[in-house]
Amino acid sequence: MTLPIPIQVLYAGLVGVLIALIVATAQQNWKPKVFFLLALRLAIGWQFLFEGLHKIQSHYIGATETNRPFSSEPYFKEAPGPLAPMMRAMNGDASKIIPAKLTPKKEISAADFAKLTTEEQAALCPDDVAKELDGLLGTAEKTIHDNAEKALADLPKLQEAKLKKIAETEKKETEAAKDAAAKENAKKKADGDRKIAENDAAETKAEEEKRLSSGKEIASQSILAAKAAFARWTYGEDRREVKMARISGDPVLMTGPQRLHYLGLLKHEKQEAEARQSEGLGGGYGLDIKKAQTSRADYWNEEAALVKDIDSFVTELKTKINDGKAPEASTEKTPLQRNDWLTRWFLAAVGAFILFGFLTRISCVAAAGFLLLTYLTHPPFPWFTLPPGTEGNPLFINKNAVEFFALLALACMPTGRWLGLDALIGYIFCGKSKAVVVKREVVPVKA
């Protein structure tokens, strides 16, 4: 699904806006300040509206080779402003997730860790991961119980199918036999296969009945083994495959501590590049800007990859605990998804209100508040890095700050009464006496 807006409609809308601007200015005695204030309001409303519609459309189209749905994650990921910690926490701060799930509970070498029992290894599993795995006990017990019941219910049918196949094979071999000895061999072979099938069925029944009665104990042992497996990776005993961005070829095997060490090297490299960029009022010199951008991208990508690999490993362990059934993905929107939904619809709504002059003053203040939050999240201070996609080299004042003050200036003027739905609403409910007209100022001259 898309939001198609024919280009003809856009042109017609733009022409209509220009005509309305001219008519409104004429009604206000051709005052230049009326023209430019209205032009400023219409321009800001138009920009907000179509920025919001573009973000909405990107989500309706979905992820394709030529489209990437809007996400605020890159903007907030390394934001240095005073509101940044709150936004990162809301959107899932990787810098907090990684230490919480991959930091050893105590200093111990991989060799000494390998000597511990499974119970001792499981006890050293990071608390956040252990809590996730422990929370699966009830679900895993039910899954084991349901699977055992299903296996027992299906066992007679499976046994019948096996015996039928054995009988068919026996019949074919008997018909193909050329003498009595061959027929006897076919019968003996079929009888042996039947006995094996009966023994297998009995073993399967006993095993499933045991699983049916001991589901909780089996689930507990699976959780213990899963926590020990994650701990072995955390403490450097086991390795897992990982595809490194800077290493071509096949995936390499790395332990948890090695992944943390590599991430630390990228962070140090990023900090050095940003320190060089901060010289010269944040612009850097020569290739410093490019180097800082590349270093930030490498660090962010590795950080995101590590979080993804941790979650993937935990999901594998949960699947084993849950008797081979993958845990159901949560249908609840994440804080990041809720924030992105609110952002794109807010931009479209407030842009439409400002453009069409509905609740104009309130809409201008709301839009200014949004820009203030954006500014405080990623302020253009010379000692901070520039956000992704920044044009030029803003110093303290960027486009968000300029538009912020412009919106507050518009909120102080009755532009909605000059042109917009506010004028229509005022005329209907207040009459002509409330119409706003900019009067010519007459300055008395003393004799």
Q: Is the predicted pLDDT of residue 245 greater than 60, yes or no?
A: yes
Exposed e or buried b for every residue in 110-138, given b needs 16+ CB within 10 A? eeebeebeeeebbebbbeebbebbeebee
441 Cα distance to chain centroid: 57
pLDDT of residue 405: 97
φ/ψ (deg, to 5) at 430:
-115, -15
Q: Which domain holds residue 156?
A: 134-217
The predicted-structure confidence for 99-126, as pLDDT tens digits, reads as follows 999 999 989 998 999 999 999 999 999 9
Q: Does a structural domain hold residue 280? A: no
Beta bridge partner(s), residue 242: 252
Report how far residue 136's alpha carbon sits from residue 368's, in angstroms, rounded to the nearest whole number.
46
Do 321 and 133 touch, CB atoms closer than 8 A?
yes
**70/138 same-domain check:** no
Query: Does residue 251 form part of some domain?
Result: no
Share of the chain above pLDDT 90, in %: 45
Contacts of 369 (CB under 8 A, 6+ apart): none
Domain co-membership, 65 together with 138: no
Distance of alpha carbon 350 from alpha carbon 53, whole angstroms: 11
Whether residue 390 lies inside any domain: the answer is yes
Question: What are the φ and ψ backbone dihedral angles of 396, each rounded to 5 degrees?
Answer: 70, -40
Average pLDDT over every residue of 363-374: 96
Range name among 5-9, 23-27, 240-244 with the lowest pLDDT average? 5-9
Task: Report the amino acid identity of residue 317.
Answer: L
Query: Does residue 390 register a pLDDT over 60?
Result: yes
Final residue of a domain: which of 217, 245, 265? 217
Compute the average pLDDT of residues 142-148: 90
Residue 246 inside a domain? The answer is no
Q: What is the pTM of this model?
A: 0.69
Does 351 map to a domain? yes
Residue with tokens 């890095």: 385
Q: What torsion, rounded to 10 degrees, do the Cα atoms 23, 27, 33, 36 define?
A: -10
Phi then psi dihedrals of residue 315, to 5 deg? -65, -40
Same domain, 66 and 144: no
Which three-class secondary structure state does DSSP give residue 252?
strand
Q: What is the SS3 assignment for 242? A: strand
Cα 192 from chain centroid (whole Å): 58
The whole-number average pLDDT for the span 204-208 is 91
Which helix or strand (DSSP H or E) is residue 218 part of? helix 215-234
Same domain, 424 and 344: yes
**Helix/strand/coil (H, E, C) string of 114-150?**
HCCCHHHHHHCCCHHHHHHHHCCHHHHHHHHHHHHHH
Residues 59 and 142 in one domain: no
Same domain membership, residue 342 and residue 420: yes
142 and 70 in a common domain: no
Tell me, yes or no, whether 24 lies in a domain.
yes
Could you tell me if 342 and 427 lie in one domain? yes
Query: Mean pLDDT of all residues in the chain?
Result: 86
Q: Is residue 374 part of a domain?
A: yes
pLDDT at residue 372 greater than cutoff 90: yes
Q: Which residues contact 205 (CB under 8 A, 6 or more apart)?
A: 152, 155
Question: Phi then psi for 236, rounded to 5 degrees?
Answer: 90, 10
Long-range contacts, stretch 261-268, CB < 8 angstroms, 24+ apart: 262/302, 263/98, 263/299, 263/302, 263/303, 263/306, 266/295, 266/298, 266/299, 266/302, 267/299
Final residue of a structural domain among 173, 200, 217 = 217
Task: Give the confidence band of 447 by pLDDT, cuts at 50, 70, 90.
Answer: very low
Rounded distance between C-alpha atoms, residue 92 and residue 101, angstroms: 13
Q: Is 162 exposed, middle or buried (0-12, 13-18, 19+ CB in 10 A)?
A: middle
Tokens describing residue 426: 């005022």
Mean pLDDT of 365-382: 91
Whether residue 54 is contained in a domain is answered as yes
Cβ neighbours around 74 below 10 Å, total: 14
Looking at the predicted structure, is the pLDDT value of residue 49 above 90? yes
Domain count, the chain: 2
Domain boundary among 217, 249, 267: 217
Confidence of residue 127 (pLDDT cuts 50, 70, 90): very high
d(CA 415, CA 41): 8
